[in-house]
Amino acid sequence: MLLTGAQIIMECLLEQKVDTVFGYPGGAVLNIYDALYEYRDRINHVRTAHEQGAAHAADGYARSTGKAGVCIATSGPGATNLVTGIATAYMDSVPVVAITGNVNVDLLGLDSFQEVDITGITMPITKHNFLVKHIEDLADVLRQAFQIAQSGRPGPVLVDIPKDLTAKKYEYQKQAPLPLLPVHYPSDEHLRQAAQMLQNSRQPFLYLGGGVSLSGADKEAAAFAEKLDAPVSASLMAQGAFDAHNSRYMGMLGMHGTKTSAEAIKNCDLFVAVGTRFSDRVLCNAGLFARNCPILQIDIDAAEFNKNIDVDLRLEGDARQVLTGLLSLLPQQNHAAWMEQVHAWQKAYPLTQAAEAGVLPKDVLETLDKLTDSNAILTTEVGQHQMWAAQFYKFRRPRQFLTSGGLGTMGYGLGAALGAQAGNPKAKVINVAGDGGLHMNCNELATVAHYSLPVVELLLNNSVLGMVRQWQKLFYDNRFSQTTLDTNTDFCKLAEAFGVKAYRIKTKEEIEPTLKEALAQQGPVLVDCWVDKDVNVLPMVPAGASVEDPMLEM
């Protein structure tokens, strides 16, 4: 079948069962967009207000569905506007395929209009990238891009396609998607060593990272926790990988983790880490982390072993497969006294917030949790609201919490929410935002309004850059340099200008009825919730301190 390069791109997307793409048209991708018009009954295109929103939307689609997300941008500034979104996906291991246009092949390297070396720019933040210079390579490159993005530890792949290739014709033959690349599996000897470590433990600590969600290992992780008879903590990226309603769950570990998790790591005799890269926000002071016990690490990426912290035994492989192997070797354990101690810490150190008056973020998020039966998909921007969402919403399953953990990208959440809503049309999707983050991406309110996506934008509005201000309070003697957001933006009027229905919460009594009404709407909604600027994220481990000793008050 003789097709243009643009049509070959469409057919390759259909091979991969891609149903939705996100992007923004421009000169170098005119042929691709002409093909999208032709294929509009088979591939849904969501035009965002900005290319960065398209990258975040593809990311949110991928995180929430488990399928690769796809975004499209033109050459030059269109391509560079994707960079922050690509880096966000890279840091959090999200399978995204970014397709960019470029100038004609004979104009490459001549500083042509809207030309940029996007493969050179994105090399450090992609699993792989391609510049396609020959039409005969186009289909195979696209197939490889999806294979690489989804194999092993997932991540973004960029394919840069000169405009003249999208107009040329070439013979296309349909193919099945390439199989995922094989991953390593631990030796029987290493599995037996791990099983022996587990059996010797009397006070084990099970810590789950984002890899548990990515591998679909949540059921195996729950069964493993039961068989090991251990308490469980999860990273920011692993919220929902273990049901927060389960009495074994202690909350997060790390800079803003719970006091229960801190006590557990101080007293455990074995630390079992599954699918985590030991981020500095988890370790805090690496020299003081889990210093009283051996560490068993399970991870699909060999580069993560002994990178941030030395471990005693490493099992390289997919989390689901490795946990399945360990379950078959491990007899049922019984650590009743240890679990009783953990439950005592949970009662002694609950997560609390205090304020003289007004609306507490804890009350807002716990009410949201109740009204949605812990089943909504939450996205976030980055800052205090992000931590409060992780602390007070009780996620039940993987792919419910979409947040920028590694790169910490302000402006991520609204784009991710519209991507998640497009991929999960029957789900309730809520973006928990701060006013700083919303100022960065409010243009995407136009997108959710245009497509009538029923996203709820829950704004925790404290008129400051709260997390940065919190550090200024602790370590800079209350010198609040440029963290007071005195812009006087009326977010309700702003939302309404975009065609988004808006509500405002200013008192505790307004929380439940307002949220209930907002959640019942069939279209996009913004809820402007005023909270005190001096409500802090606690617990908190100060820089350089041990994760075992978080501050409980400021």
| Strand runs labelled E in 354-398 | 377-380
Looking at this protein, which amino acid is placed at residue 6? Answer: A
Q: Evaluate whether 433 touches 410 at the Cβ level (below 8 Å).
A: no
pLDDT score for 153 = 98
Q: Which residues of 374-405 are buried (b: 16+ CB within 10 A; e: fewer)?
A: bebbbbbbbbbbbbbbbbbbbbbbbbbbbbbb
pLDDT tens digits along 188-210: 999 999 999 999 999 999 999 99
Q: Which of 51, 263, 316, 548 is catalytic?
A: 51
Half-sphere exposure of 549 (CA within 13 A, CB side): 7
Q: Evaluate whether 239 touches 401 at the Cβ level (below 8 Å).
A: yes
Least confident window among 76-85, 119-128, 316-325, 545-554: 545-554
Please name the residue ranges forming H helices in 92-217: 118-122, 138-150, 163-167, 188-200, 210-214
DSSP state for residue 181 in the 8-state scheme: P
| Strand-pair partners of 526 | 457, 502
Residue 114: active-site member: yes
pLDDT tens digits along 138-149: 999 999 999 999
pLDDT score for 547 = 95
Q: Which of 467, 491, 533, 540 is catalytic?
A: 467
| Strand-pair partners of 315 | 298
Where along the chain do the CATH 3.40.50.1220 domains lie? 188-348
User: What CATH code is assigned to 361-530?
Assistant: 3.40.50.970
pLDDT score for 357 = 64
Q: Evaluate whether 418 touches 406 at the Cβ level (below 8 Å).
A: no
DSSP state for residue 534 in the 8-state scheme: T
Q: Which of 127, 163, 259, 362 is catalytic?
A: 163
Of the candidates 474, 468, 479, 459, the residue with the CA atom closest to the CA atom of residue 525 = 459
For the chain, the average pLDDT equals: 97
Residue 113: active-site member: yes
Angle at 466 between CA 357 and CA 539, to 5 degrees: 75
Cα dihedral sign for 151, 153, 155, 161? negative
Residue 203: active-site member: no
Tokens 């007004």 appear where? 358
pLDDT score for 217 = 98
Question: What is the percent of the chain with per-residue pLDDT over 90, rounded to a whole number?
Answer: 97
Backbone angles phi, psi at 284, to 5 degrees: 60, -95
Confidence of residue 355 (pLDDT cuts 50, 70, 90): low
Backbone angles phi, psi at 411, to 5 degrees: 95, 0
Residue 163: active-site member: yes
CATH superfamily of domain region 188-348 = TPP-binding domain (3.40.50.1220)
Q: Is the pLDDT of residue 356 over 70?
A: no
Confidence (pTM): 0.97
Q: Is 2-171 assigned to CATH 3.65.10.10?
A: no
Q: Evaluate whether 308 touches 281 at the Cβ level (below 8 Å).
A: no
Q: Quick count: other Cβ atoms within 10 Å of Cβ 91? A: 20
Q: Which of 15, 38, 67, 114 is catalytic?
A: 114
d(CA 311, CA 548) in angstroms, rounded, equals 18
Tokens 């070797």 appear where? 329
Q: Is the pLDDT of residue 543 over 90?
A: no
Backbone angles phi, psi at 262, to 5 degrees: -65, -45
Confidence of residue 354 (pLDDT cuts 50, 70, 90): confident
Q: Residue 85: CB partners within 8 Å, gap ≥ 6? A: 51, 52, 54, 55, 56, 58, 59, 71, 96, 409, 412, 415
pLDDT tens digits along 248-290: 999 999 999 999 999 999 999 999 999 999 999 999 999 999 9
pLDDT tens digits along 205-229: 999 999 999 999 999 999 999 999 9
Backbone angles phi, psi at 109, to 5 degrees: 80, 5
Backbone angles phi, psi at 383, to 5 degrees: 145, -155
pLDDT score for 554 = 81
Q: Which of 1, 17, 113, 475 is catalytic?
A: 113
Where along the chain do the CATH 3.40.50.970 domains lie? 2-171, 361-530
